[in-house]
Structure 1
Amino acid sequence: MARLALTLVIIGALNWLLVGLFEWDLVAALFGGDSHRVSSGVSRVVYSLVGIAGLYCIRFYVDDNAVAK
């Protein structure tokens, strides 16, 4: 269950990274909705930081102590 939660968090964070860098929402593009988001500069920085944190979290898949199996 912990790995499923980690996977969903990483997917969400990577989506925010795409919004922050390119103003493009992958989830909305895949499942319907407006995939282009217009955001302020500050919010794009925050979205990008969340996305970078998601990239960092990928390492928890190989760290046996970080996520319960």
Structure 2
Amino acid sequence: MKSNGLDYTALVITIIGAVNWGLIGLFRFDLVAFLFGNLSWLSRIVYVLVGICGLYLFSLFGRIRDISASS
């Protein structure tokens, strides 16, 4: 499978978001709110970027399926 830089960037941002949700679930600690403020414009941008990257990674499923079907 040939991946591009956007795939890796989206994956890293989504993993950061998953770690943040893990911290919220385990310790009730929101790292994004701690770093950027509780629902400040900057933290909202981070949350939106994580969401967009997660949605973008849905396309990865289709690309993996297409490659494995052609093999």
Asked if Structure 1 and Structure 2 have the same fold, meaning a TM-score greater than 0.5 normalized by the shorter chain, the answer is no
TM-score band, normalised by shorter chain: 0.3 to 0.5
Structure of larger gyration radius: 2
TM-score of the aligned structures, taking structure 1 as reference length: 0.42
Which has more helix, going by share of residues?
Answer: 2
